Amino acid sequence: MKISRRNFLTQFTAVTTGAFVFPRIRIQEKTLVCKIINAKVFYQNKWQNMNIGINEAGRLVINEVENYTTKQTYDAQNKVLSPGFIDILCDNSANPQQTYLIVEKYKITDGVTTALQMHGGQHEVKSYYDTFSQKQHYINYGVSAKVMNIRNQYPTLAQRYKKVEQCLEEGALGVSHSIEYQPTPFEEVLEYAKIAKKYNRTLFLHLRYSSKEQELEGVKEAILLAERTGVRVHIDHLHSTGGTFNMTKALEIIRSGVQKGLEITTCVYPYSYWATYIHSKRFDAGWQERYGLTYQDLQVVGTGERLTAESFAKYRKTVKLVAVPEGTLPLEKTVDLALKEDFCMIGSDGGIESEPNANSHPRGAGCFATSIKHGLKIGIPLEKMIEKMTVLPQKVVPQPLSDRARIVDGAWADVVLFDPERINGKANVSNPNQFSEGIMAVWVNGILSYENGRLLQKQGKAIRWE
């Protein structure tokens, strides 16, 4: 077929023009939701002045932050920016649907970005996560399999063991049991340890004894469980149960286990007094002799009321929290010794559950700010205290927290900005409902959620074992 010169040129021009016109390629712009500038950060094992970015996915950007455009710049004013604190021993298992936002409110104002109920927890884990995933949260949340509830619900050992396994399959973060409050045969506890090991979870234990004569037996039992099964064991609040009277020896026992290769950790809260429910077994007959206390020593948390024999009998029929006097747990003989150990972290064992006046230990609102102030007071470096509230808790719930608790490129942007000169927990026995001082700002999953006394957005997520 013949083609005229004019047609040939026309068609050739069209083809060649099309061949050399490339589609416009859109270069993705590097954009940050927020850039935190002038922050003091413990990064790569040294304190540095840094600018830290948060991207649109809620993740930290550490490298080449200057190459990004940003929607918002936040001046840290040379204050400390650290990973958000992780409370592994949050307590809110009694009535969470009605109280969870109050608990989270006082946690975030204490610098906590993740609160996990590893002392109490739930026995209907799927239902818990299904329900609470439909709600908004100030902070990240999660639960363990609560053996106390399971033992109350199921009469046979086979049913109990099966239920614990079901909880772990549904995402429970660990197995928790309080064998002082609910005495349980060793062989049964051993089986719970085996189940926890099977699922690579930690066994969290409130030890069996709190008396001067027997408390070390509880510590030895925890070590034996780890030896017999290889499970990670976390001993709850050692200074109030296990090391109240014999802390030096308790730490020696744990240290010996760690040196043998066992995974044993413990935690403390920086208060010289404990508080618990007056109806619990702790106040069974003989409590005065066990603890060297009188009725007048007991104080109702939230009101400051001192008890008498008559009011003690009355309150034993209720669910009241009572505190023992300051100095009952002398810090220099308990908490201070434990904090020097690398296997000891911070855990509040508390939560503020009501307003305007809570019947809750002040540790539910001020544990972490108080911990930093106290640690600095006794000479523990700030970076070590931060580690005890971030890295160490992450190690006992490793998989679900693998991309949290550190300031590294790509980690979730759970971070807290605080003033180390001003930080302090203000909550006390008479008035636990107080925000901590010195917590300037808190980001949860990349969103500024608290700033200078103001609660902002709710961005918390479920922490669940996948």
For 357-390, the three-class secondary structure string (H helix, E strand, C coil) is CCCCCCHHHHHHHHHHHHHHHCCCCHHHHHHHHC
Q: Report angle CA 350, 224, 277 to the nearest 5 degrees.
A: 25
Mean pLDDT of 60-89: 96
Contact criterion met (CB below 8 Å) for 262 and 226: yes
Q: Give the domain range for residue 354.
A: 84-272+326-403
Structure tokens at 438: 């010195």
pLDDT, one tens digit per residue, over 307-347 is 999 999 999 988 888 888 888 889 999 999 999 999 999 99
Residue 3 has pLDDT above 60, yes or no: no
Stretch (H or E) spanning 443: strand 439-444
289 and 379 share a domain? no
Tell me how many domains the chain contains. 3
Is the same domain home to 350 and 282?
no
Query: What's the average model confidence in pLDDT over 39-64?
Result: 96
Average pLDDT over every residue of 411-432: 96
pLDDT of residue 1: 42
pLDDT at 15 (0 to 100) = 40
pLDDT of 6 over the 90 cut: no
pLDDT of residue 245: 95
Q: Are residues 92 and 158 in the same domain?
A: yes
- The CATH number linked to 220 is 3.20.20.140
Average pLDDT over residues 107-134: 97
Query: Residues 163, 227: one domain?
Result: yes
The last residue of one of the domains, among 78, 107, 138, is 78
> What is residue 20's predicted lDDT score, i.e. its pLDDT?
37
CA dist., res. 106 & res. 413, Å (int) = 20
140-146 and 112-122 beta bridge pairing: parallel
Record the pTM: 0.90
Domain presence at residue 206: yes
Question: Residue 284 phi/psi, 5° resolution?
Answer: -65, 165
**Which pLDDT belongs to residue 29?**
57
Reply yes or no on whether the pLDDT at 218 is more than 50. Answer: yes
Distance CA(114)–CA(140), nearest Å, equals: 4
Checking if the pLDDT of 26 tops 70, the result is no
Residue 175 scores a pLDDT above 50: yes
Question: Per the domain annotation, does 457 fall within a domain?
Answer: no
Going 422 to 425 to 428 to 434, the CA torsion angle's sign is positive
Q: Are both 51 and 196 inside the same structural domain? A: no
Share of the chain above pLDDT 90, in %: 82
Amino acid identity at 303:
T
Query: Measured between alpha carbons, how far is 69 from 55 in angstroms, rounded to an integer?
Result: 10
State the pLDDT confidence band at 446, using cuts at 50, 70 and 90: very high
Grouping H, G, I as helix, E, B as strand and the rest as coil, residue 375 is: helix
- Which residue stretches of 39-112 are H helix? 96-108
Q: Coil, strand or helix: which one is 348?
A: coil
Per DSSP, 282 falls in state G
How confident is the model at residue 12, as a pLDDT?
40
Specify the 3-state DSSP secondary structure of 221: helix
Q: Does residue 157 form part of some domain?
A: yes
**In terms of domains, do 248 and 297 share one?**
no
Please indicate, yes or no, whether residues 236 and 293 belong to a single structural domain of this protein.
no
Q: Where are the beta strands (DSSP E) in 236-395?
A: 264-268, 275-277, 299-300, 321-323, 344-346
202 in the same domain as 349: yes
Are the beta carbons of 86 and 113 closer than 8 angstroms? yes
Task: Collect all residues with Cβ–Cβ distance below 8 Å to 43 and sequence separation of at least 6.
Answer: 50, 62, 407
Examine residue 444 and state whether it is found in any structural domain, yes or no. no
Closest to 84 in 3D by CA, of 122, 121, 48, 58 = 58
For residues 204 and 311, state if they share a domain. no
Asked if residues 180 and 282 have their Cβ atoms less than 8 Å apart, the reply is: yes
Average pLDDT over all residues of the chain: 92
